Structure 1
Amino acid sequence: MISKSARSLYFENSIGRIWEEPEGFLRLEYRAGLREPVQFRALLTHAVQALSRRRWEKMLVDQREMAPLSPGEQEWMATEWLPRAVQEGGYRYGAILIANNVFARLAMNQYVMASRGQSHAYRTFETEETAVAWLLAQPKPLG
């Protein structure tokens, strides 16, 4: 388990938080409840900026409290956000802590299917320990 005191808060809004972990990855934590579209896009845009700034490729996405993604959110993430995160942010590996809400799980599965073809790997996990272990086992960037 990662020491919470060692992490650094990068960004926070009503949708969630982005932490910089000392092990070299971002942690994106979604809050419970409905999402306002501008705040949702701002959170994910800041994640791309943080990846780029740190030159990191890995993100732990904690969806345990997340409400289901709307069709519009899924579409925006698959067609705009993920391509930008991969190309501009260098995003390559996403470890997803799956949502407690079954409908949120189904919406995430639909998003993952729609985003195939990007040079990016997602894996889902039930526990934080296994998610972090998988992220840390992924190759480090060259250079």
Structure 2
Amino acid sequence: MPLAPPQLYFENAVGRLYGHPDGYAIIQFNAGQRKFSELQRLYTQLRWLLELHRWHRFLNDQRLLDPYNPEEAAWIVNH
């Protein structure tokens, strides 16, 4: 029996957010510069997806992601 593929839930310039049928989320980041507000939006959508499905796990594919700047890192830690 073929496995169901992850479903795209949200996409913006920073990356894509998928919901996997096995009960977790996947974030795939795009390469290049990003706006802080778009990063916030992607992570906020992740939080909503996890809460909606009562999931507690996600995979974070950061291979193309530039390092977080101090403002981004502080926001992620606090939210």
Alignment TM-score, normalising by the size of structure 2: 0.92
Q: What SS does the aligned partner of 2:50 have?
A: helix
Which letter does structure 2 place at the counterpart of 1:70? N
Instruction: Give the Cα–Cα distance (whole angstroms) in 2 for the partners of residues 72 and 38 of structure 1.
Output: 11
2:22 aligns with 23
Mapping of residues 2-81 of structure 1, within 5 Å: 6-79=5-78, 81=79
**For structure 1, which runs of at least 5 residues remain unmatched after alignment?**
82-143
Q: How many residue pairs align between the two structures? A: 77
If each structure's helix is expressed as a fraction of its own residues, which one has the higher value?
1
Instruction: Give the Cα–Cα distance (whole angstroms) in 2 for the partners of residues 36 and 43 of structure 1.
Output: 11
Runs of 4+ in 1 over 4 A off after TM superposition: none
If each structure's strand is expressed as a fraction of its own residues, which one has the higher value?
2
Instruction: Give the Cα–Cα distance (whole angstroms) in 1 for the partners of residues 5 and 76 of structure 2.
Output: 30
Alignment TM-score, normalising by the size of structure 1: 0.52
Q: Which of 1 and 2 has greater Rg?
A: 1
Answer 1 or 2: higher relative contact order, Cα 8 Å, separation at least 6. 2
> What RMSD over aligned residues (CA atoms) do the two structures have, in Å?
1.1
